[in-house]
Amino acid sequence: MRVVAAESRLEVAPPSGASPRAGLNLEVVNTSHVIDAVGVEVHGPTAPYVTVSPAPLVLFPEARGTLRVSFHLPEHFPAGRYVVDLVVRGRAPGAEPAVDAVELEVPPRPALRVHAEPSLVRARSGAGFTLHVANEGNEPLEVALRAEDTDRSLTATLVPSTLSVPVGTSATSTVVVRGPRQLYGSDRDRPLTLVADARGVTSQTELVFRQRSTVSRGLVTVLVLLLIIAAWALAFVLGMGLVLGTDPLTKAAPSSLFAAAAAQAAAERGEAPAEPAPPAGALPKDGALPAGVGGVVTGTVRGSADGQGVGRLTVELLRETRDGLVVTSTGATQADGTFELAGLFPGSYLVRVASPGYDEVWWPSARSDAAAEPVAVRAQEVTEGVDLVIDGHAASLAGTVTTGLPDGEVAVEVTATPVWPGADGGARTTSAGADGTYRFDDLPAPGTYEISFTAEGYQPSRLTERVLGGQVRLALDVRLSAGDGQVAGTVTDGVSGLGGVTVTTTVDGTLVEVGTPTQGQVGRFVIGSLPTPATYVLAFAKDGFETMTAVVTLGPGEALTDLEVALTGGVGTVTGIVQDGSGDPLGGVTVTAGGVEGVETTTLTAGAVGTFSLTGLPQGREVTLTFTHPGYTAVTVPVVVGSGGLAPVTMASAFGRVEGRVTQGDVGLVGATVRATDGRAIFTTTTTSSGAGGTYTIPDLEPGTWTVTVVRGETTLATALVEVRRGRTSTQSFTIAAGG
């Protein structure tokens, strides 16, 4: 059986649907003399997830066929490199299997999901939430947790704040939230966002701390009602006593009804008429009118930088009098920038917005009252659309970022990027000081900025801050989490790579263990997902060798990839290549070490065809290697273990072959039967149409004299005696007379 693989290395990703994500074709040639049913046995960690079609593959002698090997990896199959042996085996008695080694690489696919149980807790001063972080990818994750509180009213404590989550599992953390004490009023919802970051992926969940008041709203309402009732009762009793206790029971009209009579009486006495008193219930000339009587002015104040509403600004309405402009009504903008001034006398007003940190502005967009336009107010009507745009003074934003290392040891770059629509870039970058402090001045305000933190070897972090006009805002303190580190290298026996070595270290009290491969990249090891910065002690052990240790110190996110470790001991390795008489690599050759029990291997049939690596040999001793392969003469070679690579070994074929061409009238005779016999065995083939036509080949003939005959139907057309030599090709052509 002969096998040729189209590929020796594949990248296989877990599928998103039902179809396989990768596969390869194996071309199989039946080199036996009988019809055979060929199947594939898969050895390796991916064996349960491999399908082969067709199963089996039926081949005639010297026929070729293709087997499709497909890989269906599950969603959480761990990332890494794997060596899979594909053993192609026939069912015919004495059939020799062929082995093809394929290296599979499963790329990392990090994914995580975080959720809380419960997500809403009602309490007075503090609440606890349980976070569940699930690793839905195919590689272990180091997850950093942080809490984001937009209104800065809560303190959150995460225990623990970092989690190690293996593939397909979940881990839990507890977040304790505390808010400012609320004496009275209704329940207040305080939102909190929990963010989980790991290896470039982020997941978040929303929590709500529903804070109860010390004194409930219902109790406050009852007390207020009792006070109101008591006040009304007292006012009623005292008022009635004052009104009814001194005046007689009589009816009276407003003094304005007697204005004419009073004027006439004054004239008769020769006196000037007195100024009439205002009637009872008359409205004042200034001040606010009762609800439902005066006019209302509404509008929105927005910042010129980001176009968003600005809260906590003072809005004034001014009216022209004989003494100049007089403020008649004031109010403040809400959080979204809207305002409403009610109870206004009908007339014309000027609208002004002035607050510390902002330039004064008059409606609609004037810098002084001289250029301002009046706003008309009508009784019992709402004047809408009194909108203004205000310029804020430049703001400053400062904060502190820490890395867990001594001050100044890690350079942290801080970038402030405006995030409002139409900001058009404008990002500013600075470096944190040795003590971790940073500051941005002259920021356009009001505006919202995303602050990002990057440092070599650390996971990037970011937060969002909004600055108001002229404000010096202190941002939340940020602590950067170091990225994962890695240690990789090669273990040798002093000469070449050494497979089967166990490499161990301890990570946060947990033993981590990997091994070096015996095929492919022999002796290579990789230990990833190591917390940094940290120092690790690596131990290297293998039966027959002395255990070695190495101390490795990793900086933040550092990857050490060239660690070289040489083990000393009593075993070694011999490598080499086997070729046929033509110098072509020969796969499937069995290599056996004489005098060493159980030490045997086979040369590769794919990738580096013909190569072999024989391990477990006594170091420094001479051993005898025997090379055997069906159809070839066995070869024995002595070699000293550890003295270097073995020179190419050449195996001569144990059989010969006859080939030639049958012609008739200078034209190749196609379809004629050609037989070869030595009196014991008969081999038969048919002339083909390939090339010039009429050619034939009869392989695998024992050395000796063979009778080669050309037959068509029952008629023998030509016969010749051919001498077949071991490992040689004998040529015998036939010319058939016309009409023969």
3-state secondary structure 476-509: CCEECCECCEEEEEEEECCCCECCCCEEEEEECC
Q: Give the pLDDT score at 620.
A: 66
Residues 10 and 78 in one domain: yes
- Counting residues of the chain whose pLDDT is more than 70, the rounded percentage is 90
Burial annotation 659-684 (CB, 10 A radius, 16+ → b, else e)? bbbbbbeeebbeebbbbbeeeeeebe
Do residues 516 and 534 both lie within one domain?
Answer: yes
Same domain, 376 and 299: yes
Burial class, 312, CB count within 10 angstroms (exposed 0-12 / middle 13-18 / buried 19+): exposed
Bridge partners of 635? 627
Q: Are 669 and 631 in the same domain?
A: no
174 and 100 in a common domain = no
- Does the CA dihedral 215-217-219-222 come out positive or negative? positive
Q: What's the confidence (pLDDT) of residue 248?
A: 45
Residues 660 and 639 reside in one and the same domain: no
420, part of any domain: yes
Contact 33, 60 (CB under 8 A): no
Long-range residue pairs from 685-690, CB within 8 A, at least 24 positions apart, any chain: 687/661, 687/662
Collapsing DSSP states into helix, strand and coil, what is residue 512? strand
- The tally of domains found in the chain comes to 7
51/68 same-domain check: yes
CATH number of the domain encompassing residue 132: 2.60.40.2310
Distances in Å between the Cα of 424 and the Cα atoms of 11, 100, 464 are 41, 58, 18
In terms of residue numbers, what domain contains 206? 112-211
pTM: 0.39
d(Cα 90, Cα 59) in Å, to the nearest integer? Answer: 10
* DSSP state string for 4-60: EES-SEEE----SSSS-SEEEEEEEE--SSS-EEEEEEEESTTGGGEEEESSSEEE-
CB crowding 402-438: b at 16 or more within 10 Å, else e: ebebeeeebebbbbbbbebeebeeeeeeeebeeebeb
State the amino acid at position 355 in one-letter form: S
266 part of a folded domain = no
Looking at residue 656, its pLDDT comes to 86
What's the pLDDT at 290? 56
Instruction: Please identify every stretch of the chain with a pLDDT value under 50, giving residue numbers as ranges.
Output: 17-20, 246-258, 280-283
C-alpha torsion sign, points 432, 436, 440, 441: negative
Residue 236 lies in a domain: no
Residue 188's pLDDT is 80
Does 504 lie in the same domain as 458?
A: no
**Same structural domain for residues 514 and 530?**
yes
Considering the domain architecture, whether residues 54 and 14 belong to the same structural domain is answered as yes
Q: How much is the mean pLDDT over the chain?
A: 84
Residue 289: the pLDDT is 55
In Å, the largest CA–CA distance within the chain is: 173
Count CB neighbours of 224 within 10 A: 10
State the pLDDT at residue 291. Answer: 52
CATH number at residue 685: 2.60.40.1120
Q: Residue 165 domain-assigned?
A: yes
Q: Which CATH number belongs to the domain containing residue 539 in this structure?
A: 2.60.40.10
| Residue 457: φ, ψ to 5° | 85, 0
Q: Is 359 part of a structural domain of the chain? A: yes
Q: Which of 106, 130, 145 is at the close of a domain?
A: 106
Cα–Cα distance, 93 to 87 (Å, whole number): 17
Domain end residue (candidates: 651, 679, 701): 651
Rounded distance between C-alpha atoms, residue 418 and residue 448, angstroms: 6
The pLDDT score that the predictor gives to residue 708 is 93
Q: Is residue 235 part of a domain?
A: no
Last residue of a domain, one of 390, 406, 436: 390
In 3D space, the residue among 722, 711, 719 whose CA is nearest the CA of residue 686 turns out to be: 711
Residue 495 lies in a domain: yes
Q: Identify each DSSP E strand in 44-180 by its residue range.
A: 50-53, 57-59, 64-71, 80-90, 98-106, 112-117, 120-123, 126-135, 141-148, 155-159, 162-165, 170-178
* 423 and 327 fall within a common domain: no
530: Cα separation from own chain's centroid: 18
Same structural domain for residues 21 and 100?
yes
